[in-house]
């Protein structure tokens, strides 16, 4: 198991770094692929509860999300409106879960493309993943060493308050160094963003665990040997990516005098 996790990470992480650095149409293509796999995982879990999901329609709308994110992320709300119109004739459970899936997966992940289009886009995408990775690593280490008080054992029995706090501390420390040596944004703003994103990432982790508990599955998929599915590996990014994009637009750009 550990060997599988290590080999998967050794292949997948460099692939992500190279494609996000290349940008252009390469990164949107990779993100689109990630979203398609994640949508497949999501619909499989929902349909396992006998709730029909219009998979191919969701894929078509996903490509609309991706195109909008690439050309003008401020129009992402249009895709949400389109999803509401196209799904509105479905039975209520199908409609509700399909729209939730588009927001939870396609809308959220599309911000990875929007972030790459910003000034300093590569470094901001790296910031997004560093927040998730630092939080996960810190939470795992502190949880293993000091974890005694469980947060929500019914949903995620291994996660503790000690691990959550350790993840927060690790994230803030790592991002402080990253900002000092690489980004050079206002330190107070970047530390607040790191703190909030670390919290959001851990909430995203619980949301995905909650979805799996509801669906009655251990992993969302088997795309990454040793890690599970795309949703298992990217559960933190789901909430972090939109926050990073809008935080840049509202806070960081102002801090640099860009607005």
- Chain segment 128-154, per-residue pLDDT in tens: 999 999 999 999 999 988 878 899 888
State the Cα–Cα distance between residues 229 and 210, nearest whole angstrom: 15
State the Cα–Cα distance between residues 12 and 10, nearest whole angstrom: 6
**What tokens does 83 get?**
């999803």
What is the Cβ-side half-sphere exposure of residue 104, based on CA atoms within 13 angstroms? 21
Q: Which residues contact 119 (CB under 8 A, 6 or more apart)?
A: 258
pLDDT digits (tens, 9 = 90+) for 93-116: 888 898 889 899 999 999 999 999
Split at pLDDT 50, 70, 90, the class of 170 is: very high
Domain boundaries, the chain: 2-255
Sign of CA dihedral 216, 219, 222, 225: negative
Contact 176, 247 (CB under 8 A): no
State the Cα–Cα distance between residues 223 and 232, nearest whole angstrom: 10
pLDDT digits (tens, 9 = 90+) for 210-234: 999 999 888 887 776 656 788 988 8
- Look at residue 158 in the predicted model and tell me its pLDDT: 84
- Look at residue 259 in the predicted model and tell me its pLDDT: 43
- Look at residue 253 in the predicted model and tell me its pLDDT: 63
């Amino acid at each position: 198991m550990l060997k599988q996790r290590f080999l998967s990470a050794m292949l997948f992480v460099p692939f992500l770094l190279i494609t996000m650095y290349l940008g252009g149409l390469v990164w949107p293509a990779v993100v689109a692929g990630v979203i398609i796999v994640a949508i497949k995982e999501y619909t499989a879990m929902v349909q396992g509860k006998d709730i029909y999901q219009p998979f191919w329609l969701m894929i078509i709308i996903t490509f609309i999300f991706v195109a909008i994110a690439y050309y003008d992320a401020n129009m992402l709300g249009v895709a949400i409106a389109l999803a509401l119109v196209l799904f509105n004739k479905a039975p209520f459970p199908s409609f509700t879960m399909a729209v939730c899936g588009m927001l939870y997966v396609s809308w959220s992940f599309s911000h990875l493309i929007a972030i790459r289009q910003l000034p300093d886009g590569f470094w901001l995408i790296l910031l997004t993943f560093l927040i998730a990775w630092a939080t996960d690593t810190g939470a795992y280490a502190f949880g293993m060493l000091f974890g005694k008080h469980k947060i929500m054992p019914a949903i995620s029995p291994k996660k503790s308050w000690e691990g959550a706090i350790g993840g927060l501390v690790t994230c803030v420390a790592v991002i402080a160094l990253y900002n000092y040596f690489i980004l050079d944004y206002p330190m107070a703003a970047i530390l607040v963003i790191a703190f909030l994103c670390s919290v959001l990432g851990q909430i995203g982790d619980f949301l995905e665990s909650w979805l799996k508990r509801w669906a009655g599955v251990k992993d969302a998929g088997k795309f990454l040997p040793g890690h599970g599915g795309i949703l298992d590996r990217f559960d933190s990014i789901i909430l972090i990516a939109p926050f990073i994009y809008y935080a840049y637009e509202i806070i960081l750009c102002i801090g640099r005098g860009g607005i």
